Structure 1
Amino acid sequence: MQQPRDMTPAFSWITADETAEQALVRILTERPFLILPPPFHRLPLRAGNVVEIVGPSPSAKTLILIQAAINCILPKEWKGVSYGGLERAVLFIDLDCRFDVSSISRALQRRIIEANGLRSSLKGSGNEYDKELFVACLRRFLYRRCYNSFEFIATLKTLHHRLHQEKEKGGSAVYILLIDSIGAFYWMDRALPSSSTRNNNRKSLSLQTVVETVVQEIQRLLVVHPILVLATKSAVFGDKQSTTDVIRKRPDEKTSDPRGPQNKPYRDFMPSVWQSLVSHRMLLRSLDGESKNQNRPTFSTEWLLPSLNSMDYFTVNDDCLLIPK
């Protein structure tokens, strides 16, 4: 049977085929494999995953985000030197409003210096590093600061347009979305009035509805853009009684985690709609009191989701780099 002429383009698109090699090249180009530094090395993370990094303050949560960002913005190779990066952009959404740009600057400089085999100190007057590469990497580090949940939601709603604009400018596509920290506005949102608004067609404004909107916008983003989401969250430790006194649930707030273990060493205060979005969860602890090396803070990491029977330890040096132990 002969195909109609006007339907030929449609039929050619439907019947188009590709080899396994072509399919693999296309998939790896759209969703490249990213080798993340410790403590992410235990699990294979890919685009579409939502990783929650839980820990008290301070426990190097932001520094872990910075290390992941550097691995993404560095190129795989530059002027014959191997850096092992992805040469893709990252977007850092700062909800904690305490991000210091000098921390990523020092860590990036040190990574470039170490890859080139230069041993001179950053504080030394004779130190040299590839400044052209340094500037090129920082161009791939996109930053946005939000001061409340409404600014955060507005950022997420306009993120699709912004990512499309970055692509049109010829820049690299954003591969990692970094959120620091997801529970920053918890107490502000709890103070929102839970009564219905004047317009009965609109939902009442509350912590639950705000978090639901955030989750919906992230889910929509993941459908269109192949990105990995890394989000930090502060943890409240202590016994069950004292923690309950600190965080009291409202009747409309659900905090049970249907996907995580029930014997968590901390009280999870985020609503269940956020917890159901999380695909991986890492717990950080500070071991300053137990560390023999008092010059550098020591931390431990443990995967709670999925649960792994192993722990990793690392310290933080003066250049804001994590040093595995």
Structure 2
Amino acid sequence: MNTMTHQSAATASHRKPDVQWTGGEEHWTTRDGGVDLFMWRKPPTGGQKPIGTILFVHGSSMAGQPTFDLQVPGRPDSSVMDWFAAQGFDTWCVDSEGYGRSSKHRDINFDIANGAADLAAATTYMTGHTGAERFLVYGISSGALKAALFAQQHPERVERLALDAFVWTGEGSPTLEARRKRLDEWLSKNRRPIDNAFVHSIFNRDHPGTADDATVNAFADAILTLDDSVPTGTYVDMCSKLPIVDPAKMPMPTIVMRGEYDGIASEEDLLEFFSLLPNSDKQFAVMAGIAHASFQQKNYRMVYHILRSFFTQPAPVYRMTHSTSGN
């Protein structure tokens, strides 16, 4: 049974009062007979009819609201959800199981496949609540892998797909090479601790200086308001189980968004993935001056522009047809 504005005692205990999110709607749904999934919605401003419905998918070390609804004083349009809602989009994010306000009670490591199942449950709820049947799906880092796997499993639900900080095989990734040194540790437990120093390390590992201190501090505060540990499953998958998705099975228009300094994947790895996408309505965007967490970077407005342009691009009027007749 799908429910709204419901919060179990188990998930409520993880919510601290330090950071408040306002101006949106809480939504809840369930899956697998007892898993509560928290969703946060910001509909189009002014009550206008949405020009599209976006589902934002977070990464390995933080929940949805800190990533997509981050409010930073003195940083205009800091919340990507607010910005896209002002552009006329219906915007949603969901906390994957094991993160934020969603259920954490199961004795599993909440891997990428489990996250894709969360997206299936979330979109089923979104369709029932709004009537939208096809979604503009954006995922970042391991969230991009979850989004891609969901798109592969449910292509009929994905109108356009944006993969930011994505990795395919992991070949040539300095971040994953370093992370594999701790694979035995990740395999030995279902959760890993996070703290302020860890959040700051996200912005220092590739190219320090791409994000300002005020934004990084606000991001860390928002993340740690909801979680002091996060699942190990996405780290295990990215270190030992790639590739997880097959581009040939992803027929929807797709954009691959790569930060200039992002160490999660090599450009060669991403270009090979890109070449195998079957729909010619596809884009590969290199984002100048961007490292890994693109919405928290100094160049975040450029990221918004790239994404909005892709999400509002008209479908091709002409497509070449293959003729069987000879000359």
Name the TM-score, length of structure 1 as normaliser. Answer: 0.28
Task: Choose 1 or 2 for highest CA Rg.
Answer: 1
> Under a length normalisation based on structure 2, what TM-score does the superposition of the two structures give?
0.28
Quick one: higher RCO (CA 8 Å, sep 6+), 1 or 2?
A: 1
